[in-house]
Structure 1
Amino acid sequence: MSELLQTVLDSEERSDLRQFFSEIRHQDKKYLLRNDILMSYVEYCNKYQKSAEFYSGSHLGKLIYYTQEIILENGNLCLIIRQKIASQEFYRITEDLMVEVLTIQELLDVRDRFVNRYHPNEGDILELDFGPFYDYTPTIRDPKNIGKGVQYLNRYLSSKLFQDPRQWLESMFNFLQVHQYDGIQLLINGRIKSHQQLSDQIKRAIAFVGDRASEEPYENFKFDLQMMGFEPGWGNTAGRVQDTLSILDELIDSPDPQTLEAFISRIPMIFKIALVSSHGWFGQEGVLGRPDTGGQVVYILDQVKSLEKQLQEDTTLAGLDGMNVKPKVVILTRLIPNSDGTLCNQRLEKVYGTENAWILRVPLREFNPKLTQNWISRFELWPYLETFAIDAEKELLAELHGKPDLIIGNYSDGNLVAFLLSRRMKITQCNIAHALEKSKYLFSNLYWQDLEDKYHFSLQFTADLIAMNAANFVISSTYQEIVGTRDSVGQYESYKSFTMPDLYHVVSGVELFSPKFNVVPPGVNESYYFPYSRMEDRVPSDRERVEDLLFTLDDPVQAYGKLDDPSKRPIFSVARLDRIKNLTGLAECFGKSEALQEHCNLILIAGKLRVEESEDNEEKDEIVKLYSIIDQYNLHGKIRWLGVRLPKSASGEVYRVIADRHGIFVQPALFEAFGLTVLEAMISGLPTFATQFGGPLEIIQDKVNGFYINPTHLEETADKILEFVTKCEQNPNYWYEISTRGIDRVYSTYTWKIHTTRLLSLARIYGFWNFISKENREDLLRYLEALFYLIYRPRAQQLLEQHMHR
């Protein structure tokens, strides 16, 4: 039993526990989440006049703090206690405080009974348990190290491998032999016939290049190195070749994990990368802000540009320019014939600002052209992904003239396609989720049957389980994306155990302590987003146009609302109009605070202005709601709502123009997986207020370079913004201080150069360990295939049949 629970039961607080549980039993709610529990505890302490010390310092107070859920069943309380990150305990407590430890299977049955979906007379339900597949793989022990998987993997496997010097040298020798580019041998050739000879020749080659000028080009002495057994790939100059060979020499003589990582990160083994963003509307003009695409398109385009640049840089440093090596990056997405004037109906589109990065579009098969020739919501795309992957494989092989060296999935559908392609082509698979829907929609798994017609969560969550377990490594933007915080469950953690009533029970859905998880935050595109103070890089005519658009332009097609006093300090936000992004919540927060309205205007850039222009039901609801809030709080003259799609150059200038007027940026999402707009605002110099639920919690250091807000507490949020505005009016330097610290924060931690260097290093290191350890994942992959063919595919076929009759 939990030591904390036992302490409460053995102390004088036992009577308070009994009384509090009695209060819980008499509530209308039968399923309480953490916020409900804390609010109930506040009410209990107020009702019985408990001291502040008792509320927060008592053992009972701590127990309540760590209790994530309470389910009432037949007078008993089922408690889910999460005293440690990534670890939960389950108990049933009776009215007389008898405690029974529950297994995960028993807890899932309780949840099924709660929604009247427990049928013991019909036999057991399918249980999914991935735990055994991780029993024989290394796992991290300390939760603090979750998300630092490659560091742990290096230490763990290095220590095992280095214990046997002969095996270690033989493994490294075999690894160096396999590298080629388009059939041309790299690194070592047949003149080096053994690991012992390799060691000797390395020392000889180091001495040889050491006698040459450090900057002497590799081409001048490549034939000498070839005679010693060394092919291109060691470096582009004598100095670079010497450095690389010296690292390997040190690694052979006295191996350690840091030297190993430094060496593997230099190996030329990745030249072709495929990124999958399958649900479409993926383009560079006229598509940003469409439902389902905005943030993901921005992220991938910026990532691809940086990846290609880094691959070119790595290729040059490796000395491969003379071989005419041209790294290539392909974004795989779907082709949409009815593309609404965009380029989404073109098979191939070059990515702006790159030499060899492309958007490759593959059409869906025409099961029902009324659907497949048009955009399809991410919630409806599932029936087409298997055949899309089959067709995409042929297109990728043709476009890349061979297999990619790395495939990166994006979002649930893209990750499933990446799994199918990786399985067929036997290549390294990386997963990037951006956001997992399961944690965005409350009780989405418990009530999946009620939501199935609209969201098809049974397919989505099954796809997530398959992809995250199949991936060789997983990139998350933040630590909490994986395992949350002390008082919140992480996105991946929410897949640890859950029920899909009448479908399956997930006993162990993901190993959170697996070294496959790595935190690699994205960057911000510095070509478009840079500090407002860099006037030499700003275009005066762009600035004037943006100022007019934001504050004065009278155009009912693009703008709603005319500002009575455009000189007021602007509060600015930009996002698509959906429930989670919560721009309507920000408008209501502004509407409820007359003091804030006296000092500021609210400016929103948000999707469409009219319901009839939208194809997305949630966006339509939010449009109606936003108009209602403007009328309810009489915000006419104080709010301006722009329904525009801006190119990146203009969106960067928007932030800077707001900063020119000493404005602020507010990101009010109910949950934000990362927060790219937070980075864009901060690097532009805007003091930023962002949701405390999700990624911004790790980007911003509260009251140092930005501010946290709880978007569900409207008055509190308004007070925080007003406090900042008041301080700035009293001390104008305060705005500059927060602005400067925000800029510094982004440049030190969140650049695409940092991101892609780390991502490629991870891909090489995981590829190395897969080769060396020859890890047999076939049992896991077969299990995942069974899940795909026996659960996913039949449900996808059912959805396809529905689509055929539309």
Structure 2
Amino acid sequence: MSELLQAVLDSDEKKDLRILMSVLRQSEKKYLLRNDILNLYGDYCQANQISPACLQSSNLGKLIYYTQEIIQDDTSFCFIIRPQIASQEICRLNDDLSWDEMSVEELLDLRDRLVNRYHPADGDLFEIDFGPFYDYSPIIRDPKNIGKGVQFLNRYLSSKLFADPKQWLESLLNFLRVHSYAGNQLLINPRIQSQQELSTQVKKAIAFLSNYPDDKPYESFQYELQSMGFEPGWGNTTARVRETLEMLDELLDSPAPQTLEAFISRIPMIFKIVLVSAHGWFGQEGVLGRPDTGGQVVYVLDQAKNLDKQLKEDAILAGLEGLNIETKVIILTRLIPNSDGTRCNQRLEKVHGSDNAWILRVLLREFNPNMTQNWISRFEFWPYLETFALDAERELWTELHGRPDLIVGNYSDGNLVAFLLARRMKVTQCNIAHALEKSKYLFSNLYWQDLEDKYHFSLQFTADLLTMNAANFIISSTYQEIVGTNDSVGQYESYKCFTMPDLYHVVNGIELFSPKFNVVPPGVNEGYYFPYTRQEERVKNDCDRITEMLFTLDDPSHIFGHLDNPQKIPLFSMARLDRIKNLTGLAEIFGKSTELQEHCNLILVAGKLRVEESGDGEEREEIVKLYRIIEEYQLQGKIRWLGVRLSKADSGEIYRVIADHRGIFVQPALFEAFGLTILEAMISGLPTFATQFGGPLEIIQDGKNGFYINPTNHEETANKIVKFIQECQTNPDKWLEISANAIERVYSTYTWKIHTTKLLSLSRIYGFWNFISRENREDLLRYIESLFYLIYKPRAQQLLEQHKYR
């Protein structure tokens, strides 16, 4: 991109650049983001009658397109240019049109100066740099392959097996030796002592098994295989055992990535899993819609149930039934004594619909009862996580009768607990962010001191840095969660380099090309969420009750508003009532559009109806705002606002009832990391309009099985919905077409069976990688521990002191 800047300076466009710089100087904004830059350049071109074609094809137009940020200094402009995904260049353009490249350190100093937080006399600010710790690990080259870490890792490991077979086959042999369950050796026994013996005995076992029918149970030939050196774990039938041994035979002779993945994925090494979801109201009834309690709870519960099922299926396929294998999944969360009618005060609760999945709640150590006995906001939770992890470790040893085989963290606080547990228990760690707050709040790192009292971002962003680097592997729901799109920076990408003025500079916060990143989208719970057309599975009384609640029920305690004409098309949305979910923005879109009001009623299922009922500051602000919008746009008779907490069964039926009425689902979030409600609506058969900011871009194929909207552009969003409604009026099959395509999209791509199979495969492969490269991680983990004690813990202690007086 520096060549592009030089090309502009060497051409007639140099004059245009100079004029544009003059326009920039007149701007009140000293820090322009991409949208600001494009708008300013568009206005400049329009004022100078420059054609759109020229705008797109000129070198200056291309330079502007790739520029992510412009920062004005006294005598220069800093251009942060993003020539491709996961890459950036920094150029300083001086007023005399000379330019030079800037280092990351210089950029961070400039950002500090912008907010008057630069103190050169005080010495250098603390720098965090994780770059050197990735020097030993393989690195992906092509940005298109980011998020396909396990595929890359399999190719890398296979090439190592081929290039240095002696060392790597020795590692593979040692890996096969270590597996056992409750004192029972698995896979191979001491009769096999060397790589050569392994190869010979594998071929001998394959020849032996060729004489048996495919469906003969493992127990029929178990002792013959043991005499050859093979213990249980290869399979439950002749065909399964032979197939697994053939994979190993092929791997020993001519390693290939697909063979390595298939073989390692079958190794019985995952029996007990801990899913950490620390904050919020974690329960199975009466919790959704409470502060900090939404999609993550749904995700983790569904994941736990399906992992429980998959672990049992894998144990049976591995031929381990004779060993009385007990698989178990534990969801680790906090116990809330003042549980407000929920079961969040119960230490142990079985997950409905599972054989052996449990919610284990651990009490926070007593400090100030006003804090530890009650719900604590996710923004205030940080001081309690270290002792929570220590106490949870003891509880897990008791419940699991040993250590887990995998620990999965959820959200920033859960990932920190997962790191602390995994480090102490020497277990593979997986991170799932769901959403990183840094992407939600504009300039949240730059102005962290102004936001600290409310959000405590210094703790959250530090925790994110530590845990994303500590994790053995990271699961994201979408590719753009990691590295964004051509036009936008990804959530993890935003941690690559940033400043927390007066606290630290991050010059290299995460290696985006590391194979630890994998895209594994969640599924949707098919027991509760299924197409509206499957009438035989629906309960008529529930359908009638939900229909009445949505359209006609008069219950001022839980429902605001009546509908003058309930027959209009229902425009429906369901989410927490907070700023990011932007339900007030949807109400404003509806209020501004007379055409939408002519065709539709707006129905919202969202949080509380009254300010005094909410303990969350952001929710209270949104409640006040929603009432103001209703009043301002005179929406009485056109809107229903349901302040109810729904069971999963009711939540599923509510989508189907809206579909019965040929309704539309709108997800208007300002940013959505993924969007489980989108999957729920689509599988129910609802045409869905969802935010273009975040994960929905990868769920929906625009115009085919749903639609993108820009919820910040109210007129454009309203027009898109109206256009679809008008198309459906002239062609009634249009609604049915989008509905059917939405259902098919979910079933083909977003099921929990796909998710859990992939997650367990990843766990085994990264467990293998961790085993053979263990010594290379210790220096990284020591560095992370140092940052934890130097930065995180002192700030957590400061917040704990503040909690004394709450």
Q: TM-score, normalised by structure 1?
A: 0.99
Moved more, 224-233 or 163-172: 163-172
* AA at the equivalent of 1:346: Q
**Aligned position for 1:345:** 345
Structure 1 CA distance for aligned equivalents of residues 751 and 463 of structure 2: 31
Kept in 2, the 8 Å contact 1:574–1:605? The answer is yes
* AA at the equivalent of 1:180: S
Instruction: State the SS of the aligned residue for 1:572.
Output: strand
**Aligned position for 1:4:** 4
**Aligned position for 1:711:** 711
Moved more, 262-271 or 75-84: 75-84
Listed as ranges, the matches of 1:280-359 within 5 Å are: 280-359=280-359
2:88 is aligned with 1:88 = yes
1:193 Cα deviation after fit: 2.2
* AA at the equivalent of 1:592: K
**Unpaired segments of 5 or more residues in structure 1?**
none
2:610 is aligned with 1:610 = yes
Instruction: State the SS of the aligned residue for 2:588.
Output: helix
Structure 2 CA distance for aligned equivalents of residues 634 and 367 of structure 1: 49
Kept in 2, the 8 Å contact 1:25–1:75? The answer is no
Structure 2 CA distance for aligned equivalents of residues 293 and 504 of structure 1: 32
**Aligned position for 2:378:** 378
Query: CA-to-partner distance for each residue in 1:133-154, whole Å, 9 max, x for gaps?
Result: 1122111111000000111111
* AA at the equivalent of 1:448: W
1:531 Cα deviation after fit: 0.7
Structure 2 CA distance for aligned equivalents of residues 595 and 130 of structure 1: 54
Structure 1 CA distance for aligned equivalents of residues 661 and 227 of structure 2: 66
Structure 2 CA distance for aligned equivalents of residues 9 and 548 of structure 1: 67
Structure 1 CA distance for aligned equivalents of residues 117 and 46 of structure 2: 37
**Aligned position for 1:554:** 554
Structure 1 CA distance for aligned equivalents of residues 151 and 802 of structure 2: 48
* AA at the equivalent of 2:86: A
Moved more, 196-205 or 694-703: 196-205
Instruction: State the SS of the aligned residue for 1:249.
Output: helix
Structure 2 CA distance for aligned equivalents of residues 172 and 389 of structure 1: 33
Query: CA-to-partner distance for each residue in 1:424-448, whole Å, 9 max, x for gaps?
Result: 1111000000000001001100011
Percent of matched pairs sharing the same residue: 75
**Aligned position for 1:221:** 221
Query: CA-to-partner distance for each residue in 1:287-341, whole Å, 9 max, x for gaps?
Result: 1111112111000001111111111110010011111111100000011111111
**Aligned position for 2:800:** 800
Moved more, 199-208 or 734-743: 199-208
Kept in 1, the 8 Å contact 2:571–2:600? The answer is yes
**Unpaired segments of 5 or more residues in structure 2?**
none
Instruction: State the SS of the aligned residue for 1:77.
Output: strand
**Aligned position for 2:422:** 422
Listed as ranges, the matches of 1:546-695 within 5 Å are: 546-695=546-695
**Aligned position for 1:409:** 409
* AA at the equivalent of 1:55: L
Structure 2 CA distance for aligned equivalents of residues 418 and 386 of structure 1: 10
Listed as ranges, the matches of 1:180-219 within 5 Å are: 180-219=180-219
Instruction: State the SS of the aligned residue for 1:445.
Output: coil
Structure 2 CA distance for aligned equivalents of residues 91 and 220 of structure 1: 71
Moved more, 47-56 or 586-595: 47-56
**Aligned position for 1:697:** 697
Listed as ranges, the matches of 1:114-133 within 5 Å are: 114-133=114-133
Listed as ranges, the matches of 1:774-789 within 5 Å are: 774-789=774-789
Moved more, 203-212 or 83-92: 203-212
Kept in 2, the 8 Å contact 1:573–1:603? The answer is yes
* AA at the equivalent of 1:544: D
Structure 2 CA distance for aligned equivalents of residues 272 and 712 of structure 1: 45
**Aligned position for 2:367:** 367
**Aligned position for 1:110:** 110
**Aligned position for 2:490:** 490
Structure 2 CA distance for aligned equivalents of residues 783 and 254 of structure 1: 39
**Aligned position for 1:231:** 231
1:775 Cα deviation after fit: 4.4
1:273 Cα deviation after fit: 0.4
Structure 2 CA distance for aligned equivalents of residues 723 and 736 of structure 1: 16
* AA at the equivalent of 2:758: R
Structure 1 CA distance for aligned equivalents of residues 61 and 557 of structure 2: 55
* AA at the equivalent of 2:327: P
**Aligned position for 1:274:** 274
Structure 2 CA distance for aligned equivalents of residues 76 and 251 of structure 1: 59
1:255 Cα deviation after fit: 1.3
Kept in 1, the 8 Å contact 2:407–2:430? The answer is yes
* AA at the equivalent of 1:401: H
Listed as ranges, the matches of 1:707-786 within 5 Å are: 707-786=707-786
What is the alpha-carbon root mean square deviation over aligned residues?
1.0
Structure 2 CA distance for aligned equivalents of residues 695 and 250 of structure 1: 39
Structure 1 CA distance for aligned equivalents of residues 647 and 661 of structure 2: 22
Query: CA-to-partner distance for each residue in 1:505-559, whole Å, 9 max, x for gaps?
Result: 0000000000000000001000111111111111111111110111111111121
Structure 1 CA distance for aligned equivalents of residues 579 and 170 of structure 2: 57
Structure 2 CA distance for aligned equivalents of residues 555 and 469 of structure 1: 50
Listed as ranges, the matches of 1:237-248 within 5 Å are: 237-248=237-248
* AA at the equivalent of 2:381: L
Query: CA-to-partner distance for each residue in 1:70-113, whole Å, 9 max, x for gaps?
Result: 11111421111111111111111122211121110001000000
**Aligned position for 1:45:** 45
Structure 1 CA distance for aligned equivalents of residues 788 and 211 of structure 2: 59
2:467 is aligned with 1:467 = yes
Kept in 2, the 8 Å contact 1:280–1:336? The answer is no
Moved more, 472-481 or 319-328: 319-328
**Aligned position for 1:100:** 100
Instruction: State the SS of the aligned residue for 1:83.
Output: coil
1:164 Cα deviation after fit: 2.5
Instruction: State the SS of the aligned residue for 1:87.
Output: coil
Listed as ranges, the matches of 1:162-177 within 5 Å are: 162-177=162-177
Moved more, 719-728 or 75-84: 75-84
Query: CA-to-partner distance for each residue in 1:363-417, whole Å, 9 max, x for gaps?
Result: 1101111110001101001111111111010001111000000000000000001
Query: CA-to-partner distance for each residue in 1:454-494, whole Å, 9 max, x for gaps?
Result: 11100100000000000000000000000000010000000
1:170 Cα deviation after fit: 2.2
Structure 2 CA distance for aligned equivalents of residues 150 and 70 of structure 1: 37
1:354 Cα deviation after fit: 0.5
1:216 Cα deviation after fit: 1.4
| Poorly superposed stretches of 4+, deviation over 6 Å | none
Structure 2 CA distance for aligned equivalents of residues 742 and 483 of structure 1: 26
Moved more, 93-102 or 676-685: 93-102
Kept in 2, the 8 Å contact 1:280–1:335? The answer is no
Query: CA-to-partner distance for each residue in 1:3-29, whole Å, 9 max, x for gaps?
Result: 211111111111111101110110111
Kept in 1, the 8 Å contact 2:160–2:168? The answer is no
* AA at the equivalent of 2:501: P
**Aligned position for 1:258:** 258
1:54 Cα deviation after fit: 2.1
Kept in 2, the 8 Å contact 1:150–1:516? The answer is yes
**Aligned position for 1:450:** 450
**Aligned position for 1:62:** 62
1:56 Cα deviation after fit: 2.2
* AA at the equivalent of 1:452: E
